[in-house]
Amino acid sequence: MVLVRIPHLRFLPFLLLLLYIHCISCYSTTTTPLNCTDTGRVCTSFLAFKPQQNQTVAVIQSMFDVLPGDITVEDSGWDYVFIRKNCSCASGLRKYVSNTTFTVKSNKGYVYDLVMDAYDGLALPPNTTRRAKNGAVVSLRLFCGCSSGLWNYLMSYVMRDGDSVESLASRFGVSMDSIESVNGIGNPDNVTVGSLYYIPLDSVPGDPYPINNTPPPAPVPAPSVENISGDQVSHKAHVPYGWIIGGSGVGLFMVLFGIVLCVSLKSSNCRSEARSNEKDAEGKISHKFHILRNPSFFCALDPDVFDMDKPVVFTYEEIFSTTDCFSDSNLLGHGTYGSVYYSLLRDQEVAIKRMTATKTKEFMSEMKVLCKVHHANLVELIGYAATQDELFLVYEYAQKGSLRSHLHDPQNKGHSPLSWIMRVQIALDAARGLEYIHEHTKTHYVHRDIKTSNILLDASFRAKISDFGLAKLVGKTDNGEVSTTKVVGTYGYLAPEYLSDGLATTKSDVYAFGVVLFEIISGREAIIRTEGTMSKNPDRRSLASVMLAVLRNSPDSMSMSSMRDYIDPNMMDLYPHDCVFKMAMLAKQCVDDDPVLRPDMKQVVISLSQILLSSIEWEATLAGNSQVFSGLVQGR
């Protein structure tokens, strides 16, 4: 008799996660999400989702972070819904994914199990084994696909019992060959239930989801011929020809008027859909805030609340038309809380964040912070707009995009590598912006989501901190400034005490900024993947832990041999070694496990100012080498 020791049940979710990842790695390319390399590409995709009984339209909107207009229904009814999502190539995964958030509605079980059950194979398994906590928000990635050009869209579909390539081809009106081609299926009889496949489409699937309108009144029955008197029949039979001719003329006029109206609407460049605003008696725009019934929201319209000039209120029609109906060509990117579009609005270049009505809390957070704080190194809020279903924030436009796009695989994104001087200047700019909200505002804030994708660069490569949707006021306590809150943010940037206790402090922002400094030095992601030595599965490690291990072997700037392999090769050895070492040591202090030992942002600004001055002096010594010097100047 062989005895098998069963692992403790508390490790069961972790073991299931490992088993799932192992199974994914065992699948052939026909059952795994599409590979990709172009991290700058964004497309429109669809996800086929079969709702459970308790998953209403409102729940589906929240789960997938979409609007009602992004949901269509299978022709046969509510069997499947099709979710439209923007899709892009994740540089770390090399897979096409789309971002969303999942709100936990239970205190039972594990987050992993709840997510996998809710999304039924469409979501990347969350990297957590935490127990479920009602109200917790989990950031997720959904598997999607971008077409190679042969089809307009790809739709993610999880194979179920009874499905086959033939049945799917018939169901969605496509050829079996196209399904086999896009999924690399050699044998159409060999498909795996529960695996993800892609359905190539030339048009948007399904019909608009049904809206429960008030049924029209029953038509009044027409009187029968038998009930009409002889006089009435006689009168009806002798209708004057003038009435017939007049009626024909009116009908012809209505047809011509309809044609003219259609042409004029078409030339208005999609403005016919901008019905979310009305003009009041004085000709001013009156916004429909039907979804925002909390009276505190209307304080946003009162300039006294924000201690500033009232932000510009834009109409939905302006937003809609200047983004070319939110076309993919105007899409700058998308994150957890909304998509961002480029627009030339009232002769000014702007970036417009488009959020669903479910993100009212994040919308109000950004409004409250950015209407109160103004600094050269904080992105400026220009105005806002709101409709029944959507919320919009209008910012100044950062021409050079995010710091992240310039650090990680910049050539594939059409960027030249950043020189050392540029990196130090960007770090100093971001530090000054962070110092301002920590120490110099009337009420102090903690950002809670400092990362390279939230540091934007203007036309002169000057940095501005953006995305204050998670920003929170911090109050004075015996332990300094602290705010207890649920854990939000991005893994790889979260301080240990914030992860364990939910204590959001200015020092947790300092930790995240230390990770940013390590990214600036190394050009690597905050979470890096290395091939495991004992397994085929990649090992996920935080950049902070990797760099700290490297610095332990480099006690001073004269012994940097072990560190050189972790300095961004895009700088081509054109950097002052002592300055790089000083920045690395500053980053090390910022990510100290003990928040008390971390510097505050004022100290960080002073240190970076000194590093920048030394770097400029170093650059001046290269003036004799015209080739090197001109390259540095061009990089600046």
Handedness of CA 554, 581, 583, 589 (dihedral sign): positive
What are the C-alpha distances in Å from 291 to residues 199, 294, 363?
Answer: 35, 9, 13
Q: 312-313 and 381-386 as β-strands: parallel, antiparallel, unpaired? A: parallel
568 - beta bridge partners? none
The answer to whether residue 309 is catalytic is no
Contact 41, 146 (CB under 8 A): yes
536 is in an annotated binding site: no
Dump the DSSP string for 58-87: HHHHHHHT--GGGEEE-TTSSS-EEEEEEE
Catalytic site residue from 449, 467, 509, 568: 449
168 - beta bridge partners? none
Contact 85, 64 (CB under 8 A): yes
Please work out, in degrees rounded to the nearest 5, the angle formed at the alpha carbon of residue 100 by the alpha carbons of 96 and 102. 135
How many helices and strands in the chain, by DSSP H and E? 18, 26
> Token digits for 338?
């909304």
Dump the DSSP string for 205-269: -SEEPP--PPPPPPPPPPPPGGGS-HHHHHHHHT--HHHHHHHHHHHHHHHHHHHHHHHHHHHTT
DSSP alpha helix (H) spans, 408-505? 420-435, 496-501
Report d(CA 321, CA 328) in Å as an integer.
Answer: 14
Sort 327 into a burial class: Cβ within 10 Å, 0-12 / 13-18 / 19+: exposed
- For the annotated catalytic residues, the residue numbers are 449
Give binding residues for ATP as ranges.
353
Give binding residues as ranges.
353
